[in-house]
Chains A and B, each alone.
Chain A
Amino acid sequence: MRDDMIKQALGECGVDADSPAIARATVEALTRLLEQLKPLVGELAWRALYERSLHLARSSFIKPDVDKSSPEDLLTPLQQDLSTRPPAAARAAAEALLLALADLLVSLIGDPLTLRLVHKAWDMPAAGTLPQEKPQ
């Protein structure tokens, strides 16, 4: 179910989407989640969460350089990285990153609150709960 939510978050780009479209959808999903999270936890925490998610998803792709200027600019290297990959690899990396972030949030602030934030960020109907996080 958590996989389905991630797929839905990237759903704006269809299965035949090219890498730049996947990269844009990924950044859009992260930006919308950032809008929900930043007021709640602050910019420093958001940066830490994002970097930790990149680290957790490292087996799926090489960690892009993190720009320190602003939270929005933080995502620019990611978009560039994903845009240069083959579409299947870009989609897999994007899903791995979003899943790592969702898992991380669940482990820190719990399933219900994460679900509430994710639903609001990605315009999903509020129902059900996130499944248990994957073993590392």
Chain B
Amino acid sequence: MNEKVVIRRLATGVPGLDALLGGGLAEFSFNILAGPPGAGKTTLAHQIMFGLANPERRALFFTVLGEPSLKMLRYQQQYGFFDTNKINDDSIRFLNLGDEVLAGDFESVLARIVREIEQFEPGLVFVDSFRSVVQAAEASGQATALQHFVQQLAMYLTSWQATTFLIGEYTSVDGEANPVFTIADGILFLMQTLHRNSMVRKIQVAKMRGQATIAGLHTFRISDDGVQVFPRTLSTGGAKSAAIGDAKPSRRPPLSMGVPALDEMMGGGGLPAGYSLLIAGPSGSGKSLLATAFLVEGARLGEKGVVAAFEKSPGQSHNPRLDDLVAAGHVGIVDTRALDLSIDETLFALTELIERTGATRVVIDSLSGFELALAPTFREDFRESLHRMVAVLTAMGATVLMVSELEDRYTDLRFSPYGAAFLTDAIIVQRYVELQGELKRVMAVVKVRNRGHSHALRLYDITDDGIAIGEPRHEIEAFLTGHPRPAAVLPIAGQ
């Protein structure tokens, strides 16, 4: 017989938050939503309330001395989650406690709260802003009375079987020895940081009794739909691209690159399924064209694709083949126009699109564009974040192709300015060379993990039909110096 109490988890209705909380909010828990002004506390509280409240689980929202209720109602209505039909009806009731708090009599405040709760019988209780109560107590020298008040309130609401949220303006939850924090079952700390010209919102589950949360800071965004959290350690919940199912990548055939000669160079058949491939080369070398060929070939075989295009927005791609794929529904585009993205937000958009469309081919074009689209604060961890992104996408069963802009250098051989080469399973490098008075392009397969592949440097042209790879030119050497010359020793026949 299992004698442990079963704590129900309430789905908050805030995208991403339940994953952060380890499955939702504990029913009857006593929680603090803390953070500085403008962090999004009231918006988050409202979103949770409108998501959870119904005639069977009513919500009582006490406003105190913070944001005037009139303003709060006026501005919160702008969010998609706000449902006027629930207000002052059987689901949500707002009540103003300003008069009682101003009087500084916490016995009266508690009595009023108890009276209203007994009358309305809510399953959810919100007090906004609780910091106002604290300040009123400090101003009237009643700090001890406040602590007593909080303890009584917490005990009363837990016994009443209400899930409670105290919303307060606290600048940190670490440095403050606050009785409220000690009593609370859960503390969600919201913050916004300004780095150079970009503002980034972050949330931290500083405390959540009895459940395993995802530690650390996680980004979130407030849009017309309200708060959306992007957990840093993104759990796909074992989700796979629908087109893949449970099939192991090693059991699936390689994915053709859409350029037969390149498929041969990669060991026959193309890129192994579930691999990540880095295509590195200078501007104009045909990286995006190769990525498009990869998607076109997928479309031809009935495989869906997803593109995160950071260099150009979808309407400006100047790539009619890609436009056609998008228009025909073969390829989905991730909107990357914001300049304050986080890796997690991009990863969320990618995984959501992969799950929705069943895509198996993913293109990230390009890493340098991606880095520029990130808020500056995330650029410092770009390499680590890239590793996480590739791991998540390939774990979903997707085959990932990343494009990396690389300035030609003829004195050393590099594959990515981000040290991303070791993160990937395969690398194709493209370069410009001067040959017989013309600027030519060469391509080579540098690496395909656990697979034999060609080591030849092959000249190629970009034609109206795509990429045309020439035959190996064993009679020429020193391509990588940028100035090829006739080979000193001709290869032995058959090698």
Contact = CB atoms under 8 A, between A and B. Distances in A.
Tell me whether A and B are bound partners: yes
Contacts of A43: 96, 98-99
Given A40-B73, A40-B95, A41-B96, 13 more contacts: A39-B95, A41-B68, A41-B69, A42-B68, A42-B69, A45-B96, A112-B84, A113-B77, A113-B84, A113-B87, A116-B84, A116-B87, A120-B88
Contacts of A83: none
Most chain A beta-carbon contacts within 10 A, residue among B70, B74, B93? B70
Contacts of A116: 84-85, 87-89
B94 interface: yes
B69 A45 contact: yes
Contact of B88 (A44, A45, A49, A117): A117
Main secondary structure of the interface of A (DSSP, over half): helix
Contacts of B256: none
A40 B69 contact: yes
The 8 closest A-B pairs by CB, nearest first: A42-B96, A112-B84, A41-B69, A42-B98, A109-B73, A40-B94, A39-B95, A113-B84
Interface of A: 36, 38-45, 49, 108-110, 112-113, 116-117, 120
B68 A40 contact: no
Contacts of B93: 39
11 contacts: A39-B94, A43-B96, A44-B98, A45-B68, A45-B69, A108-B70, A108-B73, A108-B74, A110-B77, A112-B84, A117-B88
B63 interface: yes
Nearest to B98: A42
B98 to A, nearest CB: 5
Given A39-B95, A40-B94, A43-B99, A109 B68 contact: no
Contacts of A40: 69, 73, 88, 94-96
A136 B304 CA distance: 57
A38 B88 CA distance: 12
Contacts of B88: 36, 40, 116-117, 120
A41 B70 contact: yes
Contact of A109 (B70, B85, B89): B70
Nearest to B68: A45
Contacts of A44: 68, 98
Contacts of A113: 73, 77, 84, 87
Nearest to A42: B96
Contacts of A39: 93-96
Nearest to B61: A40
B79 to A, nearest CB: 13
Interface in B86-111: 87-89, 93-96, 98-99
A53 B316 CA distance: 53
A71 to B, nearest CB: 11
Contacts of B94: 39-40
Given A108-B70, A109-B73, A110-B77, A42 B99 contact: yes
Nearest to B69: A41
A49 B95 CA distance: 17
Most chain A beta-carbon contacts within 10 A, residue among B69, B74, B77, B85? B69
Interface string B63-76: 10000111001100
B93 to A, nearest CB: 8
Nearest to A114: B84
Nearest to B97: A42
A38 B74 contact: no
Contacts of B96: 38-43, 45
Nearest to A105: B70
B347 to A, nearest CB: 37
A40 B95 CA distance: 5
Contacts of A45: 68-70, 96
Nearest to A115: B84
A42 B99 CA distance: 8
Contacts of B85: 112, 116
B46 to A, nearest CB: 14
A28 to B, nearest CB: 20
Given A42-B69, A45-B70, A110 B84 contact: yes
A91 B9 CA distance: 56
Most chain B beta-carbon contacts within 10 A, residue among A36, A42, A112, A120? A42
Interface in B234-252: none
A6 B132 CA distance: 38
Most chain A beta-carbon contacts within 10 A, residue among B73, B95, B96, B99? B96
